[in-house]
Amino acid sequence: MYLVNLGDVDWDVSQAIYHTLARLGIEALVICSPKQQYVSVGYFQDTEKEVDLDYLEKAGLPLIRREVGGGTCLLDNGQIFYHVIWNKNNTYFPKKFSDIYRMLSVPPIETYGKFGIKTDFREVNDIITAEGRKIAGLGGANIGNSMVFVGSIILDFDHDTMAKVIRVPDEKFRDKVFKNLKEYVSSMRKELGEIPPRNDVVRVLIENFQKTLGRLEPTGIKEDTLRKVKEVANILVSPEFVFRPTTKKPDRVKIKSGVELIYTSHKAKGGLIRTAQEVVEDIIRDIGITGDFTMNPKEGIEKIEERVIDAKRDKGKVLERIGDAYDEGKIDAPGVSPEDFTEAIIKESPEGQ
């Protein structure tokens, strides 16, 4: 496996690099930090519902969608990214996301420990301090014929900007978001009172990953690969991808007796699930599912949607179909079960209530 230690890179490259290596089938550990601050939305999220786009425009913050699940992230030079890319048939790595997270959370946990910060893994995909503050979020996905695992060492965190990035119903609610971010999201600066030298943190992080992954062969990025990175970056920032229609909406819907558009949400252990459904005479005729959960393969969400269409909006029948989709698609969604998707779909209360 290669070691690709890039240092500071352009913000879009910091996301596109692992997407590109995964597509090319190159197994590697990538270490980098973005030069500029930007916002990244998760693969299954509905960008317009999750992000305050007016604020991003005013602040000049770039926006990108990643092919990894999870929630909206504010990313900048105060974080050191680590990306692990491997062939999905590589038997050295576990198959289940939960096992991958546990295995690959060890290097960052040991790195924090080296600098005097005691941390631990918390299901589904967080690294937390001894006091329970989040100090890293982890993510994983299938891209091409590869698997990727991503996370970061948080040197410092901009709580104020993050609170402004998230779309909220009103400013009073934003104050609560800021208060919770300050209380529950930590960093090396917050824990230690200062930031250790970046080069020392990177060196220790690489040493700890080598204990888990074995010997890593340092390498650079070839010109043709860099061109591919830029091509992939253009896709990830394109409006077509950033605002892709994650929630299906029928072109023409005549609302009358027996015809409803139903919007629901359900908070599972592994993340928020949102649905938009067209229901005719209690039959689900169309459905879109979004959220900040993680799923492997990521195409599994389409299989769930396909299986549910034309099902009676009944708990037993919906659960049976989603269970079949899990089996057929070999779906692995940490903290999100067929029962959670069923609960989200048949929930009677409107979204957000």
Question: What residues have CB less than 8 Å from 311, skipping those under 6 apart?
Answer: 283, 284, 317, 318, 321
Beta bridge partners of 41: 65
Predicted confidence at residue 103, as pLDDT, reads 98
The Cα–Cα gap between 284 and 278 comes to 6
Edge-to-edge strands, sheet with 259-268: 259-268, 271-280, 283-291
Of 248, 301, 287, give the one whose Cα is nearest residue 142.
Answer: 301
Residues across the chain: 353
Beta bridge partners of 40: 64, 73
- Other Cβ atoms less than 10 A from the Cβ of 12: the count is 20
Q: What is the pLDDT of residues 212-269, one digit of tens each?
A: 999 999 999 999 999 999 999 999 999 999 998 755 544 334 344 567 778 889 999 9
Q: What is the 3-state secondary structure (H, E, C) of 9-66?
A: ECHHHHHHHHHHHHHHCCCEEEEEEECCCEEEECCCCCHHHHECHHHHHHHCCCEEEC
Instruction: Give the chain's residues under pLDDT 50.
Output: 249-256, 349-350, 352-353
Of 15, 138, 126, give the one whose Cα is nearest residue 76.
Answer: 15
Write the DSSP symbol of residue 284: E
Q: What is the dihedral of CA 303, 305, 311, 317, to 10 degrees?
A: 70
Of 256, 248, 214, 191, give the one whose Cα is nearest residue 92.
Answer: 214
For the chain, give every domain's residue range: 2-242, 259-346
Write the DSSP symbol of residue 350: P
CATH architecture of 259-346: 2-Layer Sandwich (3.30)
Q: Strand 139-143 relative to strand 73-75: parallel, antiparallel, unpaired?
A: unpaired
Q: What is the pLDDT of residues 10-22, one digit of tens each?
A: 999 999 999 999 9
Beta strands in the chain (DSSP E): 2-9, 28-34, 38-41, 63-65, 73-75, 79-87, 119-122, 126-129, 134-137, 139-143, 146-154, 217-218, 259-268, 271-280, 283-291
- Other Cβ atoms less than 10 A from the Cβ of 218: the count is 9
> Which CATH number is associated with domain 2-242?
3.30.930.10
Phi, then psi, of 22 in degrees rounded to 5: -65, -45
Separation of CA 342 from chain center: 22
Predicted confidence at residue 277, as pLDDT, reads 86
Task: Calculate the alpha carbon distances from 286 to 23, 186, 291 in Å.
Answer: 32, 41, 17
Helices (H) and strands (E) in the chain, counts: 13, 15
